[in-house]
């Protein structure tokens, strides 16, 4: 037996002498290939881990490039493709969605200013936050605060 590491995962390989037929070898190799091709575990990176990380750290400055290279040691383009395949949206669309959901909750349930909410949700520019909020919800944060959203 030997250990083979591909994409950060350890795969145990049997020696050819331990098989009784070519069919067994074929079956065994197909099982190993299937293990390596599991969609959530490519490159030793679970996309659910990435989603969890974004949900827990949405308020920080997060870029796809930095996250891919520094945390998951992956090519950013490939990382972005895996992320989109997993979530159905791009990295920035997903991060914006999370930030906007939190912003809406803060504005509806807490007594924060728009500036405070912008910074709490990871935006360094209040005007960009307002622009993004309006694009997502069709109204500015101030307009949203004035409406009665008891069901949120």
Within-domain flag for 118: yes
The token duo for 83 is: 């992320």
Number of domains in the chain: 3
Confirm whether 12 is domain-assigned: yes
Of 118, 122, 114, 116, which Cα lies nearest the Cα of 144?
A: 114
103, 110 contact by CB (below 8 A): no
pTM as predicted: 0.68
151 lies in a domain? no
Contact indicator for 47, 26 with CB cutoff of 8 Å: no
What pLDDT is recorded for position 9? 45
Please tell me the distance from the alpha carbon of residue 4 to that of residue 14, in angstroms, as a whole number.
10
Residues 118 and 135 both lie in one domain:
yes
Q: Whole domain around residue 19: which residue ranges?
A: 2-37
Low-confidence ranges of the chain (pLDDT < 70): 1-14, 16, 34-44, 148-152
Within a domain: 102: yes
Is residue 117 domain-resident? Answer: yes
Output the DSSP codes for 28-96. HHHHHHHHHT-GGGGGG--HHHHHHHHHHHTTS---HHHIIIIIS---HHHHHHHHHHHHSS-HHHHHH
Whole-number pLDDT of residue 151: 47
Distance between CA atoms of 10 and 32, rounded to whole angstroms?
A: 11
Q: How many CB atoms lie within 10 A of CB 118?
A: 24
Is 10 found in the same domain as 32? yes
Q: Assess if residue 123 is contained within a domain.
A: yes
Residues 116 and 74 in one domain: no
């Amino acid at each position: 037996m030997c250990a083979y590491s591909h994409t950060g995962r350890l795969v145990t390989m049997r020696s050819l002498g331990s098989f009784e037929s070519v069919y067994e070898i074929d079956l065994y190799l197909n099982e190993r290939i299937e293990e390596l091709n599991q969609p959530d575990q490519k490159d030793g990176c679970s996309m659910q881990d990435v989603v969890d990380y974004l949900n827990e750290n949405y308020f920080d400055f997060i870029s796809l490039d930095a996250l891919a290279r520094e945390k998951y040691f992956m090519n950013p383009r490939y990382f972005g493709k895996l992320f989109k395949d997993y979530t159905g949206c791009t990295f920035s669309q997903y991060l914006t969605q999370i930030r906007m959901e939190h912003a809406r909750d803060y504005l509806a349930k807490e007594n924060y200013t728009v500036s405070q909410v912008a910074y709490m949700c990871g935006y360094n520019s209040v005007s960009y936050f307002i622009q993004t909020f309006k694009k997502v919800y069709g109204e500015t944060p101030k307009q949203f605060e004035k409406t009665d959203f008891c069901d949120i």
